[in-house]
Amino acid sequence: MKLIVKNCGKVCGKVCGKVCGKVCWICLVLMLLLWGNDSAIAGVLGDRLAEFPRWESKPPVEIAQGDLRYPEWMAGTWEVSSTLVDLVAPLAPKLITPGFDSNRQYLHQPIKFLVKFGEPTYRRNLSRGKQVTLVPIPLVKNQEVQESLVVADRAFNGLNIAQAYLGDNGILSVKVDPENPNRQITVLRGDRQLVSVVTGRLSETIAPDEFVATEITQQIFHGQTDIYLNEVETTTRYQLQNSGAIAADQITAIYLSPQDPDYFNAAGHPVALYRYQLELLPVPTVSP
């Protein structure tokens, strides 16, 4: 199998035209609502959002370990409306991703889907104040301390987001690695798949009703004959509203892989920036 390293737009144009273009674009938002971590550098992420689009490099992050953590007020089922409100090519005209201009068609077009957050399948196993591992709840025995987590239903969320952009027939499955919650595989028709691996993460709890987080994700698109690599940053601020809804400001940045021939020309700068406004409305629980 040949290894070809390109940016999202180049993947879209070469692999399978319109359908693949949507796949590459939705991978920018496929990690929607999949953020959170215990650690934080106060103010870094909030300041970063305020500086858009003057982003010079990736944010400081820690190595992604364990599952992703959310505030308790994100628990539940939500109907999400995601709207692309701005897109910027910071290095234009020197470097512009071929898929950038085609993504203008999504401006101000809300995309809707469901996501779930609930009682965790896993809990953090603590022993003598030190994190040991993540283990299934039924198998936890004789632990000294148990700290509950609010986590996303990753497979459910990923499948719904993918289907919202590609349609029900474009996606075969979305799977989360049972050994690594930071690794997700989206299986597409035509013997293709997208592997997304979260490598770095940082979060800030600005206020009891405000949460900001970022993730750096390596994306590997496996076509029938080629492999394509990209690196994506997603930084999001969530704010709980008095109505019970959640409003979010989300920015996705595309960075060239070190193997890309234009990597040194980019000098660590993002080559494309996409800004979304998100609205999460709670879906009432239906009693059986």
The pLDDT score that the predictor gives to residue 148 is 53
Domains in the chain: boundaries: 2-118+151-241+249-282
Closest of 182, 265, 193, 192 to residue 218, by C-alpha: 182
pLDDT at residue 125, rounded to an integer: 35
pLDDT reported for residue 288: 54
Give the Cα separation of 181 and 135 in Å (integer): 12
User: Can you give the pLDDT at residue 44?
Assistant: 85
H/E stretch holding 261 reads none
Distance CA 108, CA 217 (A): 25
pLDDT in tens, 187-210: 998 888 999 999 999 988 889 999
List pLDDT tens digits, range 147-172. 557 888 888 888 999 899 888 888 88
User: Angle at the Cα of 227 (from 189 to 9), degrees rounded to 5?
Assistant: 80
* pLDDT given at position 120: 53
pLDDT on residue 141: 33
Residue-level pLDDT at 287:
54
Residue ranges, the chain, pLDDT below 70: 1-42, 119-148, 286-288
Under 8 Å between Cβ of 280 and 113: no
pLDDT at site 35: 38
Q: Which helix (H) or strand (E) holds 162?
A: helix 154-166
Secondary structure class of 221 (helix, strand, coil): strand
Q: Would you state the pLDDT for residue 17?
A: 42
